[in-house]
Amino acid sequence: MNNEVQKNTSSLTKTKLWLDVLVFIAFLITMDPHTSGIAIHEWLSLAMIAAMTLHLLLSWDWIVEITSRFLGKLGGQNRINYILNWLLFIDGTLIMISGIMISEVALPLMGITLPMGFAWRRLHDMSANIGLILLGLHTALHWSWIVTTFNKYLLQPIVKLFSAKQKKDASI
Ligand code: HEM
Ligand code: HEM
């Protein structure tokens, strides 16, 4: 790989890593609205729509490629990831729509009041719980990427920093 391509790949991977860490933490916070408070719950979840769009855009090449190959020859792991990603997408949409339908802070603040009724609250709770399971599977399927990337871009730089400092201290 030439240097320029290598640099672009590594900065894309770093962007993915930080975004994934942020959305993971944000998702865990949104799973406990009683601790965070309902206002944080709603605004943070709505902000996650932008973060999730970015998450998908950063893997756009993969999505386009696997979509075109899905009915043909495709390795098992990619097929499972693809199906699971669609389930995540559908479930995520249900969480957001049902959340908006029961909104107590964000929508009233914008002057929007939606009719109550239907089992929005039940749907919200159920889709959020299913989301937690799907996210667990999504994380498990990307575990080796997570470990490798954490090691390369977080642990190793910290270890290098400390060993450089130790060498400097020893030479004084
Ligand atoms: C808290 C939420 C999520 C976290 C922490 C997360 C984490 C990850 C990680 C670690 C990867 C591998 C590295 C990367 O390409 O970034 C990945 C890939 C991917 N994720 Fe997510 N993800 C989340 C939600 C979602 C959702 C809701 C969808 C679908 C709408 C999705 C679709 C994808 C796709 C298409 C890929 C790349 C292809 C693949 O290898 O599966 N992710 N995600
Ligand atoms: C990642 C997205 C989201 C997740 C994971 C999530 C998760 C949850 C969970 C687990 C509950 C508790 C359900 C219960 O105790 O019965 C809840 C309640 C609630 N959520 Fe969400 N939610 C999300 C997005 C949203 C959005 C976008 C809104 C509105 C704009 C919203 C509004 C609410 C409201 C009003 C409640 C009821 C709180 C109460 O008990 O009074 N949520 N959510």
Predicted pLDDT at 165: 83
The single-letter code of the amino acid at 149 is T
Same domain, 157 and 111: no
Predicted pLDDT at 169: 84
Predicted pLDDT at 167: 84
Residues 101, 118 contacting (CB under 8 angstroms): yes
Predicted pLDDT at 1: 57
Of all protein residues, whose CA lies closest to atom 32 belonging to ligand 1?
Answer: 85
Predicted pLDDT at 75: 82
Domain residues for the domain of 123 are: 3-141
Same domain, 22 and 48: yes
Same domain, 86 and 49: yes
In this prediction the pTM is: 0.90
Residue 56 region, left (φ>0) first, then alpha (ψ -120 to 50), else beta?
Answer: alpha
DSSP 8-class letter at 172: -
Same domain, 123 and 164: no
Same domain, 31 and 50: yes
Same domain, 72 and 153: no
Same domain, 92 and 160: no
| CA dihedral of 11, 13, 15, 16, whole degrees rounded to 10 | 170
Same domain, 136 and 152: no
The total of structural domains in the chain comes to 2
Q: Which residues line ligand 1 (CB under 6 A)?
A: 16, 20, 23-24, 27, 52, 55-56, 59, 62-63, 81, 85, 88-89, 92, 135, 138, 142, 145-146
Same domain, 110 and 171: no
Same domain, 61 and 119: yes
User: Mean pLDDT, consecutive 10-residue segments, the chain of 172 residues?
Assistant: 75 93 96 96 97 97 92 87 97 96 91 80 96 97 95 91 86 75
